[in-house]
Amino acid sequence: MSNLPDDQVSVHRREQAVVIARRHAKAKPQSYYAEPFQPHEWVIDAIVEVLTLADALLNHCDKDGGECRVCSEICCPLKDPLHFHHDGCPSCSQEPASG
């Protein structure tokens, strides 16, 4: 994610999580949004976990030149390990059989 020490990365991710939670709370007319914004801690923890996972996946893919087989299987609706192949996903690009 960055060259920041782990504790600063953690603080940065929590700040990002609060921004995301605030944006979504404001968008929901039925929410109890108010400033100062005080989201539930579990909401922030969940967002931080997703940000951490996304960061790990994106950094993992850099090793393989953007054609990561692990991430391909996660992202492909057909679970093809070649989903991010530079020529396109073989499974997604096939025409469905007509019948």
Q: Is the pLDDT of residue 5 over 70?
A: no
- Beta-carbon count within 10 A of 30 CB: 5
Tell me which of 10-19, 25-34, 71-80 is least confident: 25-34
pLDDT tens-digit map of 16-39: 999 999 998 888 877 778 888 888
| Average pLDDT, rounded, for the chain | 80
For the whole model, what pTM was predicted?
0.55
Contact partners, residue 35, CB within 8 Å, separation at least 6? none
- Best CA proximity match to 81, nearest among 93, 66, 67, 95: 67
